């Protein structure tokens, strides 16, 4: 029994002793494992973000001599992890006003890192082969006419509007209700599941209606046409319950942990300078997602062909 | 896989008849209670679904809790002086283990693992261990495997220490045992998915949260088996030791603990298995290592890459299971140990050889696994998957494609069950649950089941809970039919059982996430793939328990029935199956618990219902949605467990 009581006392002492340990300043146990300088990047689940990270990782490694750790986290938790310093940077964010308010303005633990150079847009899409046959499907006013074409076993008697990962920004449930559409929002649950399903539909040339976003490599494999929703105006999406308009066009942003931005040296400066175009990103994305190249090989291929572009990102 | 053992107690007809009488009595009593209560309830809250008046909206308090945690995490003493130290300790210890593993290099780790396996379990397992680690390297997964191994070592150590402390308390004091048992019972039916969010919120995304979640999941079997082992100590031996005038501590250390060695090892074995099972799920909150690779592969629809990361997990599980299992058997057998690695000298030889191997690799500049030795399996696997999808997805003549089956299954099975359940008045659902649970158990189990189900209504998730329940019921029905059929066949043919064993091993240890992509490719998105994945995951346990239960049926009873001229079929139906009833019930119970765990992960592939809400909560850091869904999953698990719980059940989740 003495052993046990000694151990308990030890634990209690540890807990009560002055050795304060700020949980919010702990890096991953795997970081800097071989004495190298490490940068930890958060990878989001969509391939565009993976392309950003792959190229940044490749250059950090081969041009600046860093080790790069990647962690896959959903968007909102990634903000939290960034604030705590568990990751140093988010390379592509699609707009999170609540988090920006909390962490950038109030707590000042995160700082903006500038544009990625890519403009994102969320919308509703039908496959182009279907839109060609029925041109009027591309306006939301005619969607009810086609509801029966979009029916699946999951949506029952209504048409299916397929949404993806629950972590993505979406107003679709409210939109369906407020626009009086005869549709059921079915969540694929993850982007992987959604892409798999879209590819299956496309193979059989079946009609479908899906939440999707640009830029995205899948458009090269499955051409899709956007369905016009009521036009987006500044502030029309202020009240989530009353939304009746399309999604905005968002210039995608980078965000850094505040400490990292200050003390991150070359890595921080490089990531700040990182800025490329939609075509660049799609080129890398397509190599990763469709040709199933490893992100590293894809980044290598892109880096080899675009030296003039990335030279400018390196710290002077 | 140490399978659950079922008791084979034979009920004679007298008790059976009495039981039937008691069943009628129970039902009558319930009917009377219902006749009085239902009119009152119906008059007050006449509605089909759960009445709004009886729900509690937790959105606001939970939202405030989230804000409080996030705002105080870097300043409040609770975090800075207590949780922060725990988190820090975890990070430091994992880092320590990880650095040692890296320093040993692939040669050191493989040789060391082989020698340890040799020392505790013999030559055959040494070869298996060495080869498995080699294979992890070949698949290009060396570094993630080491990260997972480091996490496992720390998580298992913490679980074992915590489990043993709890088990000691429960083993030595009757009162603690009485309190502990229902707590452990409950912990074991919790699907791991349901407590990722609160842990991640308090500890932040990352390795410490992953370890804590793993410990919560893996410690209960250790605690339970320690308590069982201590309580089961031979009375005669204990008396003898007491009569020698020993103190309580001497009795514990010199008699009780050594006598319980077998249970302790079994506990260790179970803890390791559960911890590995958690490795992938914990990657959703930043667990890194192999689990993260599987999760990332899921993100890019890459079955091949998911498999490449899943195989090392299976290998780790098989090696650790076999080695601890063999060590347990050796403890019992008192044979002469002739291996060159026996005794304390064996350990020092093993250590020395490991160091030599590690140094050799270091001087040969081969510390990291050579890139040229990596075999890329992702491509062929993906090609195979594409072929399957192209050829059996839809419009196969006569049988129809997998997508057509899925659609039919959804419309003809899942929809009617769901609509039926959701269409029933809420009180009648509770009444059915009460009747089922009472028939199979005691009034306490019935009460727990009813309260658990009612809790989902109070939380405001009655409808999604019934949706999830419908998926579980459909999956259980399919699993039990297939599982019993295969189990019966395996019990009658040793060859079939031997053939099945490795297959079942693989399916039981392969992380559930790996199934998710192929099932989407085959069945599309929706509830059908979630159900399919759950069936694949639960089948091995059902087959195993069924086979074992039938095999253990009293030989004398079988003999005598055969001598009476019973045919094979008669023997099976009238002797074997009735006698194996406890085992069959246990199989159903295990199926239910395992299926619920996977069906909710099906939220990731369009399963909807509670699983989707849990994923949503996790993805959005939304405690109000996530925690409520998580709690409802727990309640559903409790209810299902109690409704299917054989009266005398003492086994563990995960079989």
DSSP helix/strand/coil, B623: helix
Contact list, A154 vs chain B (CB under 8 Å): 410, 525-527, 606, 608
DSSP helix/strand/coil, B607: coil
**Residue B612 and residue B605: Cα distance in Å, rounded?**
9
Q: Report pLDDT digits (tens) over A38-96.
A: 888 888 878 888 899 999 999 998 888 888 888 777 888 888 888 888 889 999 998 88
Contact list, B298 vs chain A (CB under 8 Å): 190, 192
Tell me the nearest-neighbour CA distance from A289 into chain B, angstroms: 7
**Which range has highest mean pLDDT (A120-124, A149-153, B177-181)?**
A120-124
Number of H helices, E strands in chain B: 31, 0
Number of C-beta neighbours around residue B336 at 10 A = 5
Q: Are B81 and A20 inside 8 Å of each other by CB?
A: yes
- The answer to whether residues B248 and B171 touch, using CB atoms and an 8 Å cutoff, is no
DSSP helix/strand/coil, A64: coil
User: What's the DSSP call for residue A228?
Assistant: B
What region, left, alpha or beta, does residue B233 occupy, with left being phi > 0 and alpha being psi -120 to 50 degrees?
Answer: beta
Nearest to A167 among B168, B304, B619 (CB): B619
- Report the residue of chain B nearest A193, measured CA to CA: B605
Whether B618 and chain A come into contact, CB under 8 Å, resolves to yes
**Residue B381 and residue B379: Cα distance in Å, rounded?**
5
For chains A and B, CB pairs below 8 A equal: 208
Q: Could you tell me the sign of the dihedral formed by the alpha carbons of B218, B223, B226, B231, in that order? A: negative
- The answer to whether residues B652 and B595 touch, using CB atoms and an 8 Å cutoff, is no
Q: Report pLDDT digits (tens) over A222-244.
A: 899 999 999 888 888 888 788 88
DSSP helix/strand/coil, A256: strand
Contact list, B390 vs chain A (CB under 8 Å): 203
Contact list, B392 vs chain A (CB under 8 Å): none
B449: closest CA among B467, B432, B472? B432
Dihedrals phi, psi of A152, to nearest 5 degrees: -135, 175
- Report the residue of chain B nearest A33, measured CA to CA: B99
What is the predicted pLDDT for the residue at A9?
46
- The tally of CA atoms less than 13 A away on the side-chain side of residue B274 is 33
- Report the residue of chain B nearest A169, measured CA to CA: B620
Nearest-10 Cα torsion for B157, B158, B163, B164:
60
Whether B407 and chain A come into contact, CB under 8 Å, resolves to yes
**DSSP class per residue in B421-472:** HHHS-HHHHHHHHHHHHHHHS-HHHHHHHHHHHHHHHHTT-HHHHHHHHHHH
**Residue B190 and residue A211: Cα distance in Å, rounded?**
34
Whether B249 and chain A come into contact, CB under 8 Å, resolves to yes
What is the predicted pLDDT for the residue at B409?
84
Q: Which run of H or E residues covers position B68?
A: helix B59-72
B167: closest CA among B219, B226, B212, B123? B226
Percent of chain A with pLDDT over 90: 20
Residue to substitute from B150, B162, B205, interface A, most A β-carbons within 10 A? B205
Number of C-beta neighbours around residue A266 at 10 A = 16
Whether B605 and chain A come into contact, CB under 8 Å, resolves to yes
Contact list, A33 vs chain B (CB under 8 Å): 95, 98-99, 102
Question: Which residues 6+ apart lie within 8 Å of B464 measured at CB?
Answer: B608, B609, B610, B613, B629, B632
Q: Which run of H or E residues covers position A251?
A: strand A249-257
Q: Are A152 and B526 inside 8 Å of each other by CB?
A: yes
Nearest to B619 among A47, A50, A166 (CB): A166
DSSP helix/strand/coil, B139: coil
Which burial class, exposed, middle or buried, applies to B315 when counting CB atoms under 10 A from its CB (0-12, 13-18, 19+)? buried
Tell me the nearest-neighbour CA distance from A134 into chain B, angstroms: 25
B152: closest CA among B10, B334, B282, B337? B282
Tell me the nearest-neighbour CA distance from B470 into chain A, angstroms: 14
User: What's the DSSP call for residue A199?
Assistant: H
- The tally of CA atoms less than 13 A away on the side-chain side of residue A293 is 18
Which letter, b or e, does each residue of B126-165 get, where b requires 16 or more Cβ atoms within 10 Å of its Cβ? bebbbebbbebbbbbbbbbbbbbbbbbbbbbebbbebbbb
**Residue B438 and residue B34: Cα distance in Å, rounded?**
14
Q: Are A29 and B604 inside 8 Å of each other by CB?
A: no
A193: closest CA among B468, B282, B601? B601
> Which band of pLDDT confidence, cut at 50, 70 and 90, is reported for residue A7?
very low
**Residue B422 and residue B425: Cα distance in Å, rounded?**
8
Whether B173 and chain A come into contact, CB under 8 Å, resolves to no
**Total length of chain B:** 655
Alpha helix locations (H) across B300-442? Answer: 303-332, 343-363, 378-392, 402-408, 415-423, 426-440
Residues of chain B with pLDDT under 70: 1-22, 43-48, 234, 299-301, 331-343, 365-368, 394-398, 554, 646-655
- The answer to whether residues B550 and B630 touch, using CB atoms and an 8 Å cutoff, is no
Whether B102 and chain A come into contact, CB under 8 Å, resolves to yes
Question: Which residues 6+ apart lie within 8 Å of B360 measured at CB?
Answer: B107
Whether B183 and chain A come into contact, CB under 8 Å, resolves to no
ipTM of the complex: 0.76
Tell me the nearest-neighbour CA distance from B252 into chain A, angstroms: 10
Nearest-10 Cα torsion for B613, B616, B618, B619:
170
Q: Are B85 and A14 inside 8 Å of each other by CB?
A: yes
Question: Which residues 6+ apart lie within 8 Å of B92 measured at CB?
Answer: A29
What is the predicted pLDDT for the residue at B46?
64
- The answer to whether residues B633 and B610 touch, using CB atoms and an 8 Å cutoff, is yes
- The answer to whether residues B465 and B634 touch, using CB atoms and an 8 Å cutoff, is no
Residue to substitute from A29, A80, A103, interface B, most B β-carbons within 10 A? A29
- Report the residue of chain B nearest A293, measured CA to CA: B379
What region, left, alpha or beta, does residue A245 occupy, with left being phi > 0 and alpha being psi -120 to 50 degrees?
Answer: beta
The bridge status of strand A67-72 relative to strand A38-43 is: parallel
Angle at B24 between CA B22 and CA B25, to 5 degrees: 60
Tell me the nearest-neighbour CA distance from B407 into chain A, angstroms: 6
Angle at A154 between CA B404 and CA B528, to 5 degrees: 55
- Report the residue of chain B nearest A156, measured CA to CA: B411
Number of C-beta neighbours around residue B186 at 10 A = 16
- Report the residue of chain A nearest B300, measured CA to CA: A192
Which letter, b or e, does each residue of A204-242 get, where b requires 16 or more Cβ atoms within 10 Å of its Cβ? eeebbbbbbbbbbbbbeebebbebebeeeeeeebeeeee
Contact list, A30 vs chain B (CB under 8 Å): 95, 98, 147, 207, 288
Nearest to B407 among A23, A84, A153 (CB): A153
Q: Are A192 and B295 inside 8 Å of each other by CB?
A: no
Question: What's the first-to-final CA gap in chain B, in angstroms?
Answer: 7
- Report the residue of chain B nearest A204, measured CA to CA: B394
Question: What's the first-to-final CA gap in chain A, in angstroms?
Answer: 64
Tell me the nearest-neighbour CA distance from B250 into chain A, angstroms: 10
Q: Are B406 and A153 inside 8 Å of each other by CB?
A: yes
Chain-centroid distance of CA B204 in Å reads 25
Question: Which residues 6+ apart lie within 8 Å of B311 measured at CB?
Answer: B135, B136, B139, B141
- Report the residue of chain A nearest B166, measured CA to CA: A4
**Residue B201 and residue A316: Cα distance in Å, rounded?**
40
What is the predicted pLDDT for the residue at A55?
93
Nearest to B80 among A22, A289, A292 (CB): A22
Q: Are B524 and A203 inside 8 Å of each other by CB?
A: no
Q: Are B301 and A195 inside 8 Å of each other by CB?
A: yes
Contact list, B74 vs chain A (CB under 8 Å): 22-24, 84
Question: Which residues 6+ apart lie within 8 Å of A19 measured at CB?
Answer: B85
Whether B364 and chain A come into contact, CB under 8 Å, resolves to no
DSSP helix/strand/coil, B279: helix
Q: Are A29 and B98 inside 8 Å of each other by CB?
A: yes
Nearest to B300 among A166, A189, A289 (CB): A289
- The answer to whether residues B193 and B611 touch, using CB atoms and an 8 Å cutoff, is yes
Tell me the nearest-neighbour CA distance from A138 into chain B, angstroms: 24
Q: What is the pTM of this model?
A: 0.79
Whether B389 and chain A come into contact, CB under 8 Å, resolves to yes
Nearest-10 Cα torsion for B453, B454, B458, B462:
50
Q: Are B301 and A196 inside 8 Å of each other by CB?
A: yes
User: What's the DSSP call for residue A109?
Assistant: -
Whether B603 and chain A come into contact, CB under 8 Å, resolves to yes
What is the predicted pLDDT for the residue at B384?
80
């Amino acid at each position: 029994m003495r052993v046990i009581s000694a151990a308990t006392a030890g634990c209690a002492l540890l807990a009560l002793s002055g050795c304060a340990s700020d949980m919010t300043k702990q890096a991953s146990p795997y970081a800097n494992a071989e004495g190298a300088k490490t940068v930890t990047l958060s990878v989001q689940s969509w391939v565009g973000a993976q392309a950003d990270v792959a190229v940044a990782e490749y250059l950090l490694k081969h041009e600046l001599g860093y080790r790069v750790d990647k962690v896959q986290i959903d968007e909102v938790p990634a903000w939290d992890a960034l604030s705590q310093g568990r990751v140093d940077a988010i390379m592509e964010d699609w707009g999170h006003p609540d988090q920006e308010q909390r962490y950038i303005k109030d707590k000042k633990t995160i700082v903006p890192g500038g544009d990625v150079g890519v403009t994102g847009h969320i919308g509703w899409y039908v496959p182009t082969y279907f839109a060609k046959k029925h041109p009027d499907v591309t306006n939301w006013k005619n969607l009810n006419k086609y509801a029966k074409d979009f029916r699946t076993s999951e949506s029952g008697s209504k048409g299916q509007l397929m949404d993806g990962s629950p972590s993505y920004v979406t107003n679709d449930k409210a939109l369906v209700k407020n626009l009086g559409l005869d549709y059921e929002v079915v969540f694929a649950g993850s982007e992987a599941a959604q892409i798999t399903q879209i590819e299956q539909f496309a193979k059989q040339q079946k009609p479908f209606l899906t939440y999707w976003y640009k830029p995205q490599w899948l458009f090269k494999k499955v051409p899709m046409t956007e369905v016009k929703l009521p036009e987006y105006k500044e502030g029309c999406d202020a009240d989530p319950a009353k939304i009746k308009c399309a999604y905005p066009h968002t210039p995608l942003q980078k965000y850094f942990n505040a400490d990292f931005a200050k003390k991150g040296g070359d890595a921080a400066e490089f990531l700040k300078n990182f800025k490329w175009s939609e075509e660049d990103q799609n080129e890398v994305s397509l190599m990763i997602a469709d040709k199933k190249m490893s992100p590293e090989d894809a980044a290598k291929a892109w880096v080899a062909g675009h030296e003039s572009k990335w030279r400018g990102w390196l710290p002077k | 896989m140490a399978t659950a053992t079922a008791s084979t107690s034979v009920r004679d007809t007298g008790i059976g008849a009495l039981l039937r009488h008691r069943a009628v009595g129970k039902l009558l009593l319930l009917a009377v209670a219902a006749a009085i209560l239902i009119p009152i309830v119906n008059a007050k809250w006449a509605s089909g679904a759960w009445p709004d008046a009886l729900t509690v909206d937790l959105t606001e308090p939970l939202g405030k809790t989230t804000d409080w945690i996030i705002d105080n995490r870097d300043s409040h003493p609770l975090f800075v002086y207590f949780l922060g130290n725990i988190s820090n300790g975890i990070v430091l210890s994992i880092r320590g283990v990880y650095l040692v593993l890296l320093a040993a290099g692939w040669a050191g780790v493989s040789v060391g693992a082989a020698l340890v396996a040799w020392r505790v379990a013999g030559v055959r397992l040494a070869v298996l261990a060495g080869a498995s680690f080699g294979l992890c390297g070949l698949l290009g997964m060396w570094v993630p495997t080491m990260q997972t191994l480091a996490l496992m070592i720390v998580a298992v150590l913490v679980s074992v220490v915590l489990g043993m402390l709890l088990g000691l308390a429960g083993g030595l004091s009757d009162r603690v045992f009485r309190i502990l048992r229902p707590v452990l019972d409950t912990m074991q039916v919790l699907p791991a998915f349901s407590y990722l969010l609160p842990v991640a919120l308090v500890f932040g995304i990352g390795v410490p949260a992953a370890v804590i979640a793993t410990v919560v999941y893996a410690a209960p079997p250790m605690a339970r088996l320690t308590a069982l082992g201590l309580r089961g100590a031979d009375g005669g031996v204990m008396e003898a030791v007491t009569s020698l005038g020993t103190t309580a501590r001497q009795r514990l250390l010199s008699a009780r603990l050594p006598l319980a060695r077998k249970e302790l090892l079994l506990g260790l074995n179970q803890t390791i298995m559960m911890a590995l099972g958690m490795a992938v799920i914990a990657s959703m909150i930043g667990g890194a290592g192999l689990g993260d690779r599987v999760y990332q592969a899921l993100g890019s629809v890459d079955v091949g890459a998911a498999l490449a990361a899943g195989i090392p997990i299976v290998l780790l599980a098989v090696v650790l299971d076999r080695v601890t299992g063999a060590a347990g058997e050796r403890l019992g057998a008192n044979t002469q140990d002739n291996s060159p690695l026996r005794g304390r000298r064996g350990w020092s030889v093993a250590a020395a050889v490991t160091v030599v191997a590690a140094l050799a690799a270091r001087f040969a500049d081969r510390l990291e696994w050579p890139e040229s030795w990596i075999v890329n399996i992702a491509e062929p696997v993906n090609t195979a998957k594409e072929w399957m999808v192209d050829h059996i997805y839809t419009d196969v003549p006569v049988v129809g494609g997998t997508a057509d089956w899925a659609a039919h299954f959804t419309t003809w099975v899942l929809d009617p069950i769901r609509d039926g359940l959701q269409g029933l008045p809420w009180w009648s659902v509770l009444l059915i649950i009460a009747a089922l649970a009472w028939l199979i158990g005691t009034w306490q189990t019935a009460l727990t089941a009813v309260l658990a189900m009612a809790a989902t209504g109070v939380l405001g998730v009655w409808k999604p809970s019934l949706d999830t329940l419908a998926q579980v019921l459909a999956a259980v029905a399919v699993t039990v039919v297939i599982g019993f059929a295969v189990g019966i066949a395996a019990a009658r043919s040793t060859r079939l059982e031997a053939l099945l064993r490795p297959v079942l091993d693989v399916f039981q240890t392969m992380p559930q996430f790996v199934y998710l992509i192929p099932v989407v490719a085959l069945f599309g998105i929706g509830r059908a793939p979630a159900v399919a994945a759950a069936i694949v995951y639960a089948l091995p346990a059902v087959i195993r328990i069924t086979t074992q239960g039938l095999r253990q049926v009293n030989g004398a009873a079988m003999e005598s029935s055969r001598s009476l001229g019973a045919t094979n079929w008669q023997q099976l139906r009238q002797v074997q199956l009735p006698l194996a009833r406890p085992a069959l019930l246990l199989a159903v119970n295990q199926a239910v618990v395992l299926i619920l765990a996977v069906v909710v992960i099906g939220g990731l592939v369009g399963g909807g219902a509670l699983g989707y809400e849990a994923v949503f909560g996790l993805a959005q850091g939304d405690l109000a949605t996530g925690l409520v869904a998580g709690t409802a999953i727990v309640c559903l698990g409790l209810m299902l467990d109690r409704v299917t719980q054989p009266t005398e059940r003492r086994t563990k989740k995960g079989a």
